[in-house]
Amino acid sequence: MAEKAKRRPRFNHVAMSVPADALDEAGRTELLRFYDEVFGFSEMPGMSVDGERLVLRAHSNEQFVFIHADPDPMQCPKMDHFGMSVGSRAEFDEMVDRARKYREKDARVEIIEPQTEDFKVLKLHNFYVRYRLPLMIEVQCYEWAEGVDDQSLPRS
């Protein structure tokens, strides 16, 4: 039997605490609707517990957002966040548009509008969004220069 190739460790989840009422049936429904419509996240089957826990599956069983109730919930400065990337500028623009459209029907959506930073080897497109959770999500799109990609190492 051939030995299975080793997989490098990778980030797989983020966890944060919220007040218990954010995870009652109505709160979970609101969270699920937003994170599904904007990011395509879904509820991890069998993991939610009313008033206690919601697990949002982020396109894989090994990538998720773990949200749990706590009497002393997480509080963060506005720019505390976790990040995710998309594969193309078109996907990036579509995600921004979905977040803006959702904000039109729910003013609790916070958006920091897209920006582009030019690092010569990389143009980094990003925007931030938050909805009812303590951490924002920074969405990034990488526009690599010719001959450079996500596996390239910076020169000293």
Q: What is the torsion angle, in degrees rounded to the nearest 10, for the CA atoms of residue 107, residue 69, residue 23 and residue 98? A: 40
Instruction: Please report whether residue 32 resides in a domain.
Output: yes
Instruction: Please report whether residue 50 resides in a domain.
Output: yes
Tens digits of residue pLDDT in 50-72? 999 999 999 999 999 999 999 99
| Structural domain count of the chain | 1
Give 100's pLDDT tier (boundaries 50, 70, 90).
very high
Report the predicted TM-score, pTM, of the whole model to 2 decimal places.
Answer: 0.91
Instruction: Please report whether residue 38 resides in a domain.
Output: yes
Give 1's pLDDT tier (boundaries 50, 70, 90).
low
Taking 80 as the threshold, does the pLDDT of residue 156 lie above it? Answer: no
Closest CA to 152 of 119, 115, 128, 125: 119
Instruction: Please report whether residue 127 resides in a domain.
Output: yes
Instruction: Please report whether residue 2 resides in a domain.
Output: no
Instruction: Please report whether residue 155 resides in a domain.
Output: no
Enclosing domain of residue 83: 13-144
Instruction: Please report whether residue 3 resides in a domain.
Output: no
Q: What is the DSSP string of 2-59?
A: PPPPP------EEEEEE-GGGGSHHHHHHHHHHHHHHH--EEPTTT-BTTTEEEEEEE
Taking 80 as the threshold, does the pLDDT of residue 3 lie above it? Answer: no
Mean pLDDT within 100-126: 97
The CATH number for 72's domain is 3.10.180.10
Q: What is the pLDDT of residue 86?
A: 97
